[in-house]
Amino acid sequence: MSLAFPSGSLSAVIGPNGAGKSTFFNLISGAFPADAGLVLLDGQDVARLSRTERMHRGIGRAFQVASCFPTMTVAENLMVAVTAMPASGAISPAAFRHPAYASVPRRSWSSWA
């Protein structure tokens, strides 16, 4: 697999259950060791770095948590999650000022069901 995410871009990895999304994130974040290949960040291979070293370079992993605030919109729930992340987290609240974020629907969770 070869992917490139332009600096400053807002990207998503989507696919059906079992497609390998979690494995992909576990590999690039260092939760799973890679048995081959490279994980490049700014042209440097970070595949052999620890999870902590990767985090300090800006690669992080967040886990899906089913506990959300049902009376808040999806966007508001995302803001709460990002705001609660430690400063070393991979997502910055600045991401919500990115032009691509303007396309995120401002709907309640019940409308996603």
Question: What is the tens place of the pLDDT at every residue in 68-84?
Answer: 777 877 777 777 766 65
Q: What is the pLDDT of residue 57?
A: 84
d(CA 34, CA 84): 30
For Cα atoms 85, 102, 112, give the angle at the middle one, nearest 5 degrees: 75
80 is written with which tokens?
């709460």
- pLDDT tens sequence across 31-68: 888 889 898 888 899 999 998 888 888 887 766 665 67
All structural domains of the chain with their residue ranges: 1-61, 63-113
Q: What is the pLDDT of residue 11?
A: 76
